[in-house]
Structure 1
Amino acid sequence: MATQEGGVAVPDATIRQKYIEEREKRKRLDGLGQFVQLATSDKFKYLAEDPWADHAALNAQTPPLKDGDDIKFLVQGAGYGGLTFAVQLIEAGFKAADIRVVDEAGGFGGTWYWNRYPGLMCDTESYIYMPLLEETGYMPRFKYSYGSELREHAERIAKKWELTDKALFRTRCHHATWDDVAKRWIVRATEKRGPAEPSREIQFKAQYVFLACGILSSPQIPRLPGFEKFQGEHFHTSRWNYDITGGDPVDWTMAKLKDKRVGVIGTGATAIQAVPELAKWAKHLYVFQRTPSSVDERGQRPTDPDEWANKIAAKQGWQRARLHNFSRVLTNVPVDEDLVNDGWCSTDSYCAVIGAPGIVPPDKVSDHITRLHSMDLERAERVRQRTTDVVKDPDTAAKLKAWYPAWCKRPTFHDDYLPTFNQPNVTLVDTNGKGLDAVTEQGVMANGTEYPIDVLILSTGYSVNVGDDSGSPGSRAGLKVFGRDGLSMDEKWIREGAGTLHGMATHGFPNLFFPGPSQVGLTANFTHMLSSLAFHVANVLADAERRVDHTERVTVEVTKEAEEAYTMEVLMRTAWFAGFGGCTPGYLNMEGARDNETDSQVLMKAARGAPWGEGMVKFEEMLEAWRADGKLEGLRIEGNY
């Protein structure tokens, strides 16, 4: 299936051609414009309303953040990212009493607060995905924890580090402006108080601001003709409506669907998990597919307490060691033992997304792409063969096969998704790459055929940015940020492209920090990156404050020279990601819009936003060496020395 040419393995040309043909079917001129962001839509904002908040209980509490307050630390985001930032600040010597957490949700958990759909679980091993397991002494119940357990762990972290009463929920920060006289961020926010009370506008000051709102946190739906005329019940998977389906986030007994025809739009990571559960209860389930997911075996199983005590968590520092072992395996760095040893660990070509040691010179890009395809070929063929082996109907099996390499769309792993299509009450409606035609009053039009639907479930993912396409950390957080001299962060990103030091801060915006994803090390286990950046920022601030007398006036800012020097280091490594060229459309390539761009300046700006091209292991080694040097090089620290 592969030949050797000049020392480089060349994959089967017919498969490469098949990838191109399937991609061409899915190319669209409207790119990201094909979707509606629920956060900014008046017509469809009801689909993004919080179904979980206990408004009466929250309204009865004394708010931890009031109009006119002056606080030391503001952490925007109460998921694993925000909690990890807060915990690392405390571990670095700061006080929990000086921290305030703000989130639009009604509780802790981030994505695990919002997402409570049936079948929900993490897609990387819970022993490495769930942060601070060693510090909390908690043993996950399964190798891949289910959603309720993941949400409970967020609450466990908040309780242990005394953050439970430091969070203002149902609140969106929408403007942050730097006051150079006060050395504070002036933050404006809106607190929603439920249907019985009006919203509350507040303004407060914060010395340090941390943007930890996640990458994919703003749900979206496709622009479908006739959608608003649909007479059936409907909801987005990120706001699952158990009043419609029956059951609850723990008990997935969806008895209300037993006489219903259910349609699911989308076959991404969420649908992979929800479809098998829906198929158990729906009278008939239609799964509408534009692009199939690559679905390998997951190998879900309960945690063995003996294995946990005697092998997994037997030594101090076990979780950090396991995190690093996983990242090394994914970037093809030799290890003595593959500790996680799951489907991710046999997907060595995923290094095309997250980088790996070694810099690809410009004249070797073609060889590099060929090598990546060669690395992926055996895995891709095995997964496609698995589909043939599991799905009994040959035509359905053929439509469920993914014709793109592992790095073009995040690979999925599930034990029950493919067997679901052997059930007589399940129909795959494949649109051959073009998507749906329309929504009617009674159902969905696809391939010129109307499918009658009683309940329509939108498993259509998230917008990468909230409100605009600048891609700035503020934009991703839904926040308008104005730094020194009124500089707009969005305008800076649009004019220059990404520019940071270590992916954590940018010039012109003192005391403002964020966890990438531009210019940072990446891995398939996203919480590893969050934990690494949180530790880095917390220790930078602790070191900075040790150098000044009046810490309430200290500012920490990246110099322009350091920002550009670091960005050049990022750019030197971007050739590693050349494999994305020609990928099937998806959120990783802005729904194919990146491939349509020909303006060299625009392409250079986009390249500045790339991850660290040598992977997570090398990125952490670089950060550790920088901290060990002790100079805080590239940062300007102002205050009374």
Structure 2
Amino acid sequence: MATTPTQAAAPEVDPQHLEAVRKKYAEEAQKRLRPDAVAQFLTLKDANDPRLQALNEDPWADHDALNARPSPIEDSKVYPFFVVGAGFGGLLFAVHAIQSGVATADDIRLVDAAGGFGGTWYWNRYPGLHCDVESYMYLPLLEETGYIPTKKYAPGWEIREHAERIADQWHLQDKTVFRSDVESVTWDDSSELWNISFKERRGPQGSPIISHHVRAQYVYLAAGILTRPQVPRISGLSSFAGPMFHTARWDYGITGGSQKNQVLSGLRDKRVAVIGTAATAIGAIPEIGKYAKELFVFQRTPAYVKPRNQRDTNREDFKATVATKPGWQFDRQINWNSFLTNSAKTGQPDLVSDGWTDQPAYSAMMGSPNQAELDPNSPESIERLVTGFHILDLPNMEAVRSRVDQSVKDPKTAEKLKPWYPSWCKRPTFSDTYLPLFNEPHVHLIDTDGKGPSHATERGLVVGDKEYPVDIIVLSTGFQLANLRAGSPASRIGVKVLGRNGYSLDDKWDNIGAATLHGYLTNGFPNLFFSGSSQATITGNNTMMLNFIAQHVTYMISEAKRRAGTKKRAIIEVTREAEEAHTAEIVKRAPYFSAIAGCTPGYFNGYGAVAADLEGKKKAARGATWSEGTRSFLKYIGDWREEGKLRGLDVTLRSALDAERARL
């Protein structure tokens, strides 16, 4: 029987109750609004305080082994492909370039600040770390590698090992320079090549640094966003006398144990403070609570916590019900995504059936093809849209809050743990152990009523006028995600990018706002590509998104190179007309995301930063995602590929570089 697109039916809700809940949401959001917005945080890398800066040190790099390897880089050489980032984004681009035939492994060089592959999974090794998306969907290239994850939600070490597996299978281990910070990527108008400067660290802080300069035909910016840890600007934080570390640089030397053996015996006689209650903390806090003498959880905003329902993978069942045919992984991803975008077809089975797929109002942030007619200039039209999302969301969030009451015995503690915001304001978290932990007498919830700790002392942390003495502080305070959609691709990864005539990519975004074709390339920056969700789509499953970005970009390059033949090289640049036409498609759909503006401050809404003037609002709209959901976006760019014309791209053919010129 044919299926048709549908959407979840709006539930029956009491209008007065809905109004009361929305009032509560607005009050809780207002408590957390701060004029400094994202400036309330400081990235460890940029800290002037030596102690805070030292917390950014890589605890995982095997410097002796890395120093003993032959360098993959030959300075001044021209490389066909240069990739900034060796997490899943960089790896997937390299794999698709190899599989499409546009490159061999020898043509590619990857550079990463970490000491190994994996991106955020390299840095994050805290206890309790698991993927919050089903691993059968999240771990990329399972069909190609033949790997079967051990659990429905894979632990962090397994995901990191899978990144290494991909690098091994496609021969990228000796093509990657680790411990390196790319400083600048500059277009040379005369040679029509990119000049790249980066610094390679040869050991811990204070060790020798080697400067490298190479050139490349194509550059792909794939560095992830969950790699630059930040801390709130808490007065006196460095004065704390005890050990302190960030969850993204977990110190097992202090806690005991290791990522694979999470017996935190070093905490048995310790009072531990954890600052933060977002996704990382939801994983780490229950593990700390098993061993600490006392645990103090400093909460500014409660997480919304849903059941995890973890289980081991039965390999035979996996082959019989999951990996049933070629292309199963993408089919599973799209099936899952359709429920997040409130666009599952009538009668469509929910293949994953987890805590993501039962919240259709999450489409307020993800986008959906099921959009009512919206007049962006009509406040009444916008209000109807937002109210519709709240009606759709109320049963889900009521269930989340009810679960707190069922899990936590003390009513006052339970009330403080309830999330008073709609589902689309925060990424959901999943745990079967976090909420019951607060029934334990040695675990203390320190709710700061939306403010965070007042200051730190030599002995501990202060909230209001009360000091909480502790022995160890764990900073579960996230990553620099400022201007996630409004910032340029260069600012998101902290690299200076200069295009034609020395024009800065940051300046282009500052002057006019986002301007791309499909979200992945921009005029004035030939042969430069980047990943991201701005002017593109967001999936909820990052590796799914990174995979189809890599496929799309590889298509552009392969088609241009096909036209160039073996005796030419292709210079690919989107035209201004094409990027403005695409931007117009984004802008006209942007009002769909109006519900995000009223959210509790967080990284989805720039911690409450709102453009004050009309020009700023216009720029913000240009940085929105495709509001009709992932399936619609994939059709949009798929139709573009089907045309076979590279419409909107200016492809200039130049003489091929010979080996001698490549070394000049």
| Counterpart check, 1:271 vs 2:271 | no
Match of 1:616 in 2: 630
| SS of equivalent to 1:12 | helix
Match in the other structure for 2:364:
352
Structure 2 residue 505 is matched with structure 1 residue 489? yes
2:463 pairs, out of 411, 434, 446, with 446
1:252 to 247, 253, 262: 262
2:578 maps to a residue whose letter is A
Q: Which residue of structure 1 lines up, in the alignment, with residue 331 of structure 2?
A: 321
Match of 1:64 in 2: 72
Deviations 1:503-530 (A, max 9, x none): 0100000111011221111111111111
- CA distance in structure 2 between the partners assigned to 1:236 and 1:438 by the alignment: 17
Provide Cα deviations, 1:294-332, integer angstroms capped at 9, x if missing partner: 001111111122220101002111101101111111112
Q: State whether structure 2 residue 4 is matched by structure 1 residue 20.
A: no
SS in 2 for 1:554: strand
Identity of aligned residues (%): 50
CA–CA distance in 2 between the matches of 1:593 and 1:520? 22
8 Å contact kept, 1:11–1:373 = no
Aligned counterpart in structure 1 of residue 555 of structure 2, from 539, 543, 546: 539
Candidates 422, 431, 434, aligned match of 1:414: 431
- Alpha-carbon displacement from aligned partner over 1:419-453 (angstroms, at most 9, x marks no partner): 11111111000011111110000000013210011
Where 2:620 maps in the other structure, the secondary structure is: helix
Counterpart selection for 1:583 from 599, 610, 614: 599
Shift of 1:9: 7.9
Q: Does residue 147 of structure 1 match 2:156?
A: yes
Q: For the Cα contact (< 8 Å) 2:485–2:533, is it kept in 1? A: no
**1:39-83 alpha-carbon deviations (Å, 9 max, x no partner):** 222312211110000011101111101321210101111111111
- Cα deviations by residue, 1:341-393 (Å, 9 ceiling, x for unpaired): 00000011111111000455224321111111111100000000000000111
Q: Does 1:80 align with 2:88?
A: yes
1:570 and 2:598 correspond: no
Query: Is 1:400 matched with 2:414?
Result: no
Q: Size of the alignment, in residue pairs? A: 635
Q: Deviations over 1:179-198 (max 9, x none)?
A: 12212100000000004841
Query: How far has the Cα of 1:91 moved from its partner?
Result: 1.1
8 Å CA contact 2:568–2:654 kept in 1: the answer is no
Q: Distance in 2 between matches of 1:411 and 1:311?
A: 27
Q: Aligned-pair distance for 1:469?
A: 10
Paired residue secondary structure (2:396): helix
> Hey, what does 1:556 align to over in structure 2?
572
The one-letter code sitting in structure 1 at the alignment partner of 2:134 is E
Equivalent in the alignment of 1:285: 295
Structure 2 residue aligned with 1:219: 229
1:9/1:370 contact within 8 Å kept: no
The whole-number CA distance in structure 2 between the counterparts of 1:352 and 1:551 is: 49
Letter in 1 for 2:168: K
User: Which of 587, 610, 613 is 1:599 aligned to?
Assistant: 613
Q: Which moved more, 1:354-363 or 1:406-415?
A: 354-363
Contact 1:10 1:371 in 2 (8 A): no
CA distance in 1, matches of 2:653, 2:639: 26
The residue matched to 2:598 in structure 1 has which SS? coil
1:334 Cα shift? 2.5
TM-score w.r.t. the length of structure 2 is 0.93
- Give the distance between the partners of 1:630 and 1:120, measured in 2 at CA: 44
- Structure 2 residue 364 is the aligned partner of structure 1 residue 340: no
Please show how residues 44-443 of structure 1 align to structure 2 within 5 Å: 44-93=52-101, 94-195=103-204, 197-335=207-345, 336-359=348-371, 360-362=373-375, 363=378, 364-443=381-460
Match of 2:540 in 1: 524
CA RMSD of aligned residues (A): 1.7
Distance 1:539 1:11 in 2: 51
Partner of 2:48: 42
Q: Following TM superposition, by how much is the alpha carbon of 1:217 offset from its aligned partner in structure 2, in angstroms? A: 2.1
**Partners of 1:621 and 1:327 in 2: CA distance:** 14
The amino acid across from 1:408 in the alignment is C
Which sections of structure 2, spanning at least 5 residues, go unmatched? 1-9, 656-664
Change (3 A) 1:404 1:465: closer
- Residue 598 of structure 1 and its aligned partner are, at CA, apart by 2.1
Q: What is the aligned partner in structure 1 of residue 659 from structure 2?
A: none
CA distance in 2, matches of 1:475, 1:65: 25
CA distance in 2, matches of 1:640, 1:178: 16
* 1:230–1:440 Cα contact (<8 Å) kept: yes
**Aligned residue type for 2:587:** L
2:520 matched residue in structure 1: 504
Q: 1:604 is matched by which residue type in structure 2?
A: K
Alpha carbons 1:556, 1:638 under 8 Å: kept: yes
Q: Summarize the Cα distance change of 1:9–1:152 in structure 2 as closer, same or farther, 3 Å threshold.
A: farther
Mapped partners of 1:391, 1:357: distance in 2: 39
- Return closer, same or farther for 1:244/1:365 CA change in 2, 3 Å cut-off: same
SS at match of 1:89: helix
Counterparts in 2 of 1:40 and 1:238: CA distance versus 1, 3 Å: same
Which of these residues, 620, 625, 631, is aligned with residue 645 of structure 2? 631
Contact 1:550 1:639 in 2 (8 A): no
Aligned counterparts of 2:137 and 2:615: Cα–Cα separation in 1: 39
Residues 334, 588 of structure 1: alpha-carbon distance in 2 compared, 3 angstrom cutoff: closer
Contact 1:245 1:255 in 2 (8 A): yes
- Corresponding residue SS for 2:211: strand
Contact 1:207 1:552 in 2 (8 A): no
- TM-score for the superposition, normalised by structure 1: 0.97
- For 2:530, the equivalent position in structure 1 comes to 514
CA contact (8 A) 1:3 1:11 kept: no
Structure 1 stretches lacking a partner, 5+ long: none
Look up the equivalent residue of 2:374 and give its one-letter code: P
Report the CA distance shift for 1:624/1:227 in structure 2 as closer, same or farther (over 3 A).
same
Structure-2 separation of matches of 1:553 and 1:224: 53
Tell me the distance in 2 between the aligned counterparts of 1:328 and 1:53: 40
Q: Is the 8 A contact 2:343 2:370 kept in 1?
A: no
More off after superposition, 214-223 vs 116-125: 214-223
Distance 1:213 1:358 in 2: 33
Q: Offset at 1:216? A: 2.7
Structure 2 CA distance for aligned equivalents of residues 270 and 197 of structure 1: 31
Query: What residue number does 2:5 align with?
Result: none
Query: 1:610: how far off?
Result: 0.6
Aligned mates of 1:286, 1:13 — CA distance in 2: 34
The residue correspondences of 1:468-487 to structure 2 (distance < 5 A) are: 471-487=487-503
SS in 1 for 2:125: coil
Distance 1:167 1:589, change over 3 A: same
Task: Identify if the C-alpha distance between structure 1 residues 469 and 142 changes in structure 2 by more than 3 Å, giving closer, same or farther.
Answer: closer
Cα 1:348–1:9 shift into 2, 3 Å: farther
Alpha-carbon distance in 2 for matches of 1:357, 1:192: 47
